[in-house]
Amino acid sequence: MTSVTVYGASGHTGRFIVSELRERGLTPILSGRDPEKLALIDGEARPASLDDPAALDRALAGSAAVINAAGPFAVTTLPVLEAAMRAGIPYLDVAAELEAVVDTYAQHSRAVAAGIPVVPSMAFFGGLGDLLTTAALGDWDTADETDVAYWLSSWHPTNGTRASGRVSGQRRDGRRPVVTNGELVLRETPAPQTEWTFPAPIGRVPVQSEFTMADSVVIAQHRAIPVTRSYMATNAVADLSGTTAPTPTDARGRSDQSFLIDVKAHRNREERRITATGRDIYAISAPLVAEATERVIGTTRSGVLPPSTIFDAWDFLGSIKDLTVS
């Protein structure tokens, strides 16, 4: 049976990933920094500190791939990625930290030399937005501008999200990230406020503009789009300052949070639009990264790869359970 190491298996998103891999007939190897937390999960546990390469090598031994679900990714990515390079297996993660994703793409030549595919940010924020944008573009190779707007019924951040946010905030020194002409830049000015009309039944709601997430970084790796704008419903932005964790409301551990992503591409006065809806932004990351993992195992592609450059966008999106795309 095929084994996949999940680093950060005891975390909120990591547990969803472990369950998803098992549903797909894969064997998750449980790894991470805390042996006591790993011991609470059924399965083979291989704890590994980030500063112990030998332990990381043992955690990946015999695995067909590794999924990094442990934040802050500015801290965890490079040690786990280097272990994947030594093992010669694919590396994927669910990072939403823009700076960490940029750092991972900078490892492209090393991944090529190691002969492994690396797919960072293969999650709700990042890979999903890239796939949706590519699907919206269709036969267009680029667009004059694109918009990615997020509506969340609520956003109760996990401990990992808050920790990652603190690290990113320190790296930015209080400034806001914006992707302009494919480059990540930092701005001092307050984020603009406006409104966005989402498809029914949401309708027109207040949003924060320039709410830049990892999808903007991923898209910029392979699409020369001059203007990429991003928006987040202001109720979700306000929720981020809270300390309430997601509350499970079903047998799978999902919260009752719902989401809608609205993507628009514009070229020569023509508009193309695609939307995706579902439940629980953390839970939906599990089938996204698990599907990508299955698809890259055994591939001959190498380097740090945006998902839309190695997967057919519509085919991939159609394979994700609990995600409705229209």
Same domain, 132 and 248: yes
pLDDT at 180 over 80: no
pLDDT recorded at residue 323: 98
pLDDT at 98 over 80: yes
Same domain, 181 and 227: yes
Question: Cα separation of 217 and 315, whole Å?
Answer: 22
Half-sphere exposure of 125 toward its Cβ, with a 13 Å CA cutoff? 21
Same domain, 100 and 152: no
pLDDT recorded at residue 182: 74
Residues 6+ apart with CB under 8 A from 209: 191, 192, 193, 194, 229, 230, 231
Q: How much is the mean pLDDT over the chain? A: 95
Same domain, 251 and 289: no
Residue 31 structural domain? 3-122+284-325
Same domain, 269 and 135: yes
* CATH code where residue 112 lies: 3.40.50.720
The pLDDT tens digits for 30-85 are 999 999 999 999 999 999 999 999 999 999 999 999 999 999 999 999 999 999 99
pLDDT recorded at residue 1: 82
Same domain, 137 and 94: no
Same domain, 147 and 274: yes
Same domain, 112 and 175: no
pLDDT at 310 over 80: yes
Percent of the chain past pLDDT 90, that is, above it, reads: 85
Same domain, 198 and 296: no
* Residue that has been written with the tokens 């990714």 in this structure: 73
Indicate the number of domains in the chain: 2
Q: With bands split at pLDDT 50, 70 and 90, how would you rate the model's confidence at 176?
A: confident
Same domain, 308 and 188: no
